[in-house]
Amino acid sequence: MTAAVHAFCEDRAAAGRLAAALRVPLRMIELHTLPDGESLPRVVTGGAVALLYRALDRPDEKVIPLLLAADALRRAGARRVVLVAPYLPYLRQDAVFAPGQPLSRDVLGRVLGAAFDRVVTVEPHLHRTADLTPVFGGTPVTALSAAELVAAHVGVRGDPLIAGPDAESAPWIGRIAERLGASSLVAAKRRDGDRAVGIEFPKGAAVAGRRVVLVDDILSTGATLACAIGELRAAGARTIEVVAIHDLSRRGGPAGLRRAGADSVISTDSCGHRSNVIRLAPLLATALSPETDQ
């Protein structure tokens, strides 16, 4: 059964790395915008298994063309269509937090689950959801951990202290620290609004003089990480390196963190950004290789 990676133009680089890792063709999707603003994608035919790669930052402008492309691939002969979305949006709204709000996680899950045979993502932002497959209507969702790739990039130089800005970061902080045989530190966070947060690391933590690697799954406004950086600097950290799994910030995000005291700010290539350093293609290819062997 033949397979190919299909991608929109702006995902060409990351999708190309995945296609090369899988040793399958990369086929680009043409996207035409009609005068009334509607999208009209056109796919290249060929391949019974279509691996549709899409970074889903800015989801409101991307989801409709994605769904149309999935339909086009099936009509062009694909018997299996797999969504490769290193970043999945709307998962933070996993409950109705105030009257009148939607349950965004379930809305997106139903729509994408109905369009694809499988979904593969990396470090989804989950608070209270252990398994996304039921949320996606029974469509299997493979949630990959980037811990091994991050640990390989960080390395053991200087006996790093792996730090997380809040309790939600504890699982991946623990995985990274375990792979490195390093110590870890997780802060308590108080949120007073979208941008107003308070961070407090455990009192007496051995931070002074350390190489600290501050890891978070999402860099958006940077408010949480900037606050954490300030606390770590005040505690005497020698250097602070920030690693974001998904960099959703605008241009000023990493620059703002450097102004706050970070020595470096990098991310994976789950979403195209100047901060991208860690490549996810090897991780994704390992999970997707059975799709190309069918």
Q: Where are the domains of the chain?
A: 3-144+279-292, 147-262
What does the pLDDT average to over 82-100?
A: 93
Strands 26-33 and 49-53: unpaired
Q: pLDDT band for 128, please (50, 70, 90 cuts).
A: confident
Mean pLDDT on 188-207: 75
Of 108 and 172, the one with more pLDDT: 108
Give the confidence band of 191 by pLDDT, cuts at 50, 70, 90.
Answer: low
Kindly state the DSSP code that residue 201 receives in the 8-state scheme. P
Residue 293 has pLDDT above 80, yes or no: no
Q: For residue 67, give both structure tokens.
A: 């769904």
Is residue 55 within 8 A of residue 14, CB to CB? The reply is yes
In this prediction, residue 251 carries a pLDDT of 66
> What is the average per-residue pLDDT within 17-24?
97
Which pLDDT score, from 0 to 100, does residue 195 have? Answer: 56
- The CATH class given to the 3-144+279-292 domain equals alpha beta
Query: pLDDT band at 192, cuts 50/70/90?
Result: low
pLDDT surpassing 80 at residue 157: yes
Q: Residue 162: name the closest of 253, 242, 277, 263 by CA.
A: 242
Task: For residue 211, give the nearest of 237, 231, 236, 187 by alpha carbon.
Answer: 237
Average pLDDT, the chain: 93
**pLDDT for the residue 45:** 79
Question: Are 3-144+279-292 and 147-262 equal in CATH topology?
Answer: yes
- 7-18 confidence digits (pLDDT tens): 999 999 999 999
Pick the CATH number of 147-262 from 3.40.50.1110, 2.10.10.90, 3.40.50.2020, 3.40.50.11540: 3.40.50.2020
**pTM reported for the whole predicted model:** 0.93
Pairwise CA distance, residues 139 & 149, whole Å: 27
Among the listed ranges 210-214, 220-224, 262-266, which one has the minimum average pLDDT value? 220-224
